[in-house]
Structure 1
Amino acid sequence: MRNMATYDFMETFRNTNQWLGASALSLASYPLFSMVPNPALQWMAAWGEVTERTFQRMVVKPDWGIRTVTCEDGRDHLVNVETVVDGAFGDLIHFNVSGRKKMPRKVLLVAPMSGHYATLLRSTVVSLLPDCELYVTDWHNARDIAVSEGKFDIEDYTLYLVDFMRHLGPDTHVIAVCQPAPLTLAATAYLAQEDPKAQPRSLTLIGGPIDPDATPTDVTDFGNRVTMGQLEKTMIQRVGFKYKGVGRQVYPGLLQLASFISMNADRHSQAFTDQIGRVAKGEASDHDAHNRFYDEYLSVMDMTAEFYLTTVDRIFKKCEIAKNEFTIKGKHVDIGKITTVAVKTVEGANDDISAPGQCIAALNLCTGLPDSKKASHVEPGAGHYGIFAGKSWRNNIRPLVLDFIHANSGKANATPANKNAAA
């Protein structure tokens, strides 16, 4: 009950600040006040507008916002997001491009479950759509999942990926971004053991902690400093009465957001102060750079407690993937069993979350895979976000990934790779 009260307190704090922002905006915008212009009222309205939007975004799942894509025929085609596999904890969605012939390359993009929605990969999706038949894992907010649906830990997550790969078939190319990289590697190994015919053709791992101890960062050091008991006591709460998942134990998104912001408090504080000034001067817009970034950054989701705790314990503390000791339902998943799936790793030279060395460790684990099916790339000057979004991704990494996919697509897929690389 105490943990539930804490969850509700955080929601109350968020809701109150949203209300204060809306109230300040409404009061300062009262028509009568325009008779006596006052800079203080302009600042108050601007503060209210920014504050209301900030705290309102924290409980909203962003829309993909991808209306059209320009295809090789030079025309804009409508994009429809369709659910092809419906799960209690996550769906497999397909970006269906209307009026376009089916693309030869079928790609599964595995989105992180690390506090943000899959829409964090929006720009990645936009860049891949012209060249691929694209599918994405769309994980659900744990606060909206009833307790009756049961648990969801890293073994369940891995089995979800196995089911998604089986559904898409053996001609699939998988790209895993950040957090899911080690579990996607495990899911591929699981298929190699249990259902070899369902294995994907290639696997690209981008900035994931395959071996967190290879190059320690603040993130991995945190996992080693705290005990599991400390984490469970300080980070885990029960969903409050407002949501469908009432009573479910979770690692709250609001709590993680507070941690994110505290790491760069000065920078975030300055960003919001500057935005208030721009709004007061009439220089801001609904989709300016600040709002585009923070509308996504502030939209957070809860993770199930068991997923968060088993991730820290088994991936970061015990390094089960790095040591090839990962098990599912008591059965060892041997990464060495991967013998036909081409594997590529991508790292950013300036990545301070999953530093260079952590992801490339996957190649050493694939002992049954010939060197001809292994590849790696370290992007100079790129940070964690830059290896799957921004100029580094668009101009350098994306073409390399598409070439890797094409090289491992088999004779049936003869379409040249990268015909839209400059898009």
Structure 2
Amino acid sequence: MLYHLYELNHAVLHPLREAAGLGKKLFDSKLNPLAYTYPGKLINASCDLFESLTRRYGKPEFGLKETKINGQPVAITEEIAWEKPFCRLVHFKRNEDDMMKAYGKEHHDPRLLIVAPLSGHYATLLRGTVEAFLPEHEVYITEWVDARDVPLYEGNFDLNTYVDYVIEMLQALGPGANVMAICQPGPPVLAAISVMSEDDDPALPATMTFMGSPIDTRKSPTAPNHLAKTRPYSWFENNVIYTVPINYQGAFRRVYPGFLQLTGFITMNTENHVNAHKDYFNHLIEGDCDSVQKHREFYNEYLSVLDLTKEFYLQTISEVFQKHSLAVGEFYHNGRLVKPETVTKVALMTVEGENDDISGIGQTQAAHDLCKNIPQEMQFDYIQPGVGHYGVFNGKRFRTEIQPRLRDFFRSFFDVNKEAALRKEQVEAKDKETKAA
């Protein structure tokens, strides 16, 4: 019922939103003399703020059209490298001719699979992360699909499906890739690599990196961790799960709605968000275009959210935050016990933020305790001073202090000859598929 009320509220506000949009255009026009007066600016700012607070924010675009290598522009195109109903693997393919100009010869870089969090926001939240790696890596990222857009006939998506997806993506990329799990994906990615290691899967990655991940939330518990522990499983099932309305492709699917997640995000820092919008209103009146643009860019991303399937959300609450199944050695994947101690050939790096209020210090480092049979010379840990959760994977300190360490870590386990042979093999296989088609 709540989901339907949310949709009804959006529909009811539509005429007011349209009126606000019209007022915004009218009092923002250079042809309108009133636009230059204080009352005119006040009306314009009020209309803008109302429209921005009540409109629906769709999925953002990455918008990464080029990168620079050795000072030369290199065009970027997005390609779908792998796809299933609930996820697409996006490859930011660098133009080969531009690469030749930049290097003067054939060149191979490490492949990097960034597993974006499935916790409310779209993968585009990691746009800056992707951008930082593009000059020196072949970058792929998981683009999770909004559950309300997936028809019921496509089946369910739970934590086991998530693990299967990660395994399939790594198999599609081939051996020797680097996988980087940011926040939520930590446990399922570690589970996937544990299963692959026990099976001695030839597609094992060269490295795995966990950043601000809830591997063991018993360590330095934060406010979200306390919430998950103090409320019983039944509370989450009865209070945050709703049915997708009939006007979406995923009609009748049971989900944890994005708008509820967004409410939780905002509630955690209500004062900051209120102040940010007050500043935005004042900047509109003052005509501070730079500040206005920065606000819009941030909130266009922040307010864009997606729904999670009921089974995935509830299983994550239970297994990761309440039972700590992976940390205590009781996590099962499709009925099979997951054994992180079987990982011996994949190098491990963990990254944490000193001021992280989502995944506290030690929660990500716990991966080292679980993967106890990885040789010490293949294990690395780094705590970034002065950053919170978001700063672990984005922002100035990420670009200048964290990303260079990750780059060096990937390069330490990179075999350029094997990479060249693999690329040649993949190109030949693709050519055969094309000819056969």
The answer to whether structure 1 residue 6 and structure 2 residue 5 are counterparts is: no
Give me the whole-angstrom Cα distance separating, in 1, the residues matched to 2:54 and 2:199: 46
Deviation at 1:369, TM superposition (A): 1.2
Contact residue 28 and residue 41 of structure 1 kept, 8 A: no
Structure 1 residues 235-275: Cα deviation after superposition (integer angstroms, max 9, x where no partner): 00010122100100010001111111122222211211221
1:331 to 1:281, Cα distance in 2 relative to 1, 3 A: same
Give me the whole-angstrom Cα distance separating, in 2, the residues matched to 1:14 and 1:279: 25
2:90 counterpart letter in structure 1 = I
1:64 counterpart letter in structure 2 = F
Give me the whole-angstrom Cα distance separating, in 1, the residues matched to 2:408 and 2:365: 19
Determine which of 391, 402, 406 is the counterpart of 1:401: 406
The answer to whether structure 1 residue 186 and structure 2 residue 228 are counterparts is: no
1:333 to 1:46, Cα distance in 2 relative to 1, 3 A: same
* Structure 2 counterparts to residues 119-198 of structure 1, below 5 A: 119-198=124-203
Give me the whole-angstrom Cα distance separating, in 1, the residues matched to 2:24 and 2:128: 37
Give the match's secondary structure for 1:130. helix
Q: RMSD in angstroms over aligned alpha carbons? A: 2.1
Deviation at 1:139, TM superposition (A): 0.5
Which 5+ residue runs of structure 1 have no aligned equivalent?
Answer: 416-423
Which residue is equivalent to 1:68? 66
Give the match's secondary structure for 1:196. coil
Give me the whole-angstrom Cα distance separating, in 1, the residues matched to 2:33 and 2:297: 34
Identical amino acids, percent of aligned pairs: 35
Deviation at 1:113, TM superposition (A): 0.3
Give the match's secondary structure for 1:123. helix
Deviation at 1:102, TM superposition (A): 5.3
Give me the whole-angstrom Cα distance separating, in 2, the residues matched to 1:202 and 1:153: 25
Give me the whole-angstrom Cα distance separating, in 2, the residues matched to 1:94 and 1:411: 20
1:209 to 1:285, Cα distance in 2 relative to 1, 3 A: same
* Structure 2 counterparts to residues 307-318 of structure 1, below 5 A: 307-318=312-323
* Structure 2 counterparts to residues 268-347 of structure 1, below 5 A: 268-284=273-289, 288-347=293-352
1:140 to 1:352, Cα distance in 2 relative to 1, 3 A: same
Which residue is equivalent to 2:210? 205
1:239 to 1:349, Cα distance in 2 relative to 1, 3 A: same
Deviation at 1:53, TM superposition (A): 3.1
TM-score, normalised with respect to structure 2: 0.89
The answer to whether structure 1 residue 410 and structure 2 residue 425 are counterparts is: no
1:276 to 1:318, Cα distance in 2 relative to 1, 3 A: same
Give the match's secondary structure for 1:122. helix
Give me the whole-angstrom Cα distance separating, in 1, the residues matched to 2:291 and 2:272: 21
Deviation at 1:19, TM superposition (A): 4.3
Contact residue 242 and residue 257 of structure 2 kept, 8 A: yes
Structure 1 residues 262-302: Cα deviation after superposition (integer angstroms, max 9, x where no partner): 22222211211221222233323697211111110000111
Which residue is equivalent to 1:105? 110
Contact residue 17 and residue 51 of structure 1 kept, 8 A: no
Give me the whole-angstrom Cα distance separating, in 2, the residues matched to 1:263 and 1:170: 41
1:49 counterpart letter in structure 2 = D
Which 5+ residue runs of structure 2 have no aligned equivalent?
Answer: 100-105, 421-437
* Mean Cα deviation higher: 37-46 or 106-115: 37-46
Which residue is equivalent to 2:20? 24
TM-score, normalised with respect to structure 1: 0.92
Give me the whole-angstrom Cα distance separating, in 2, the residues matched to 1:175 and 1:325: 24
Structure 1 residues 30-67: Cα deviation after superposition (integer angstroms, max 9, x where no partner): 58995667644432322222332343353x00000111
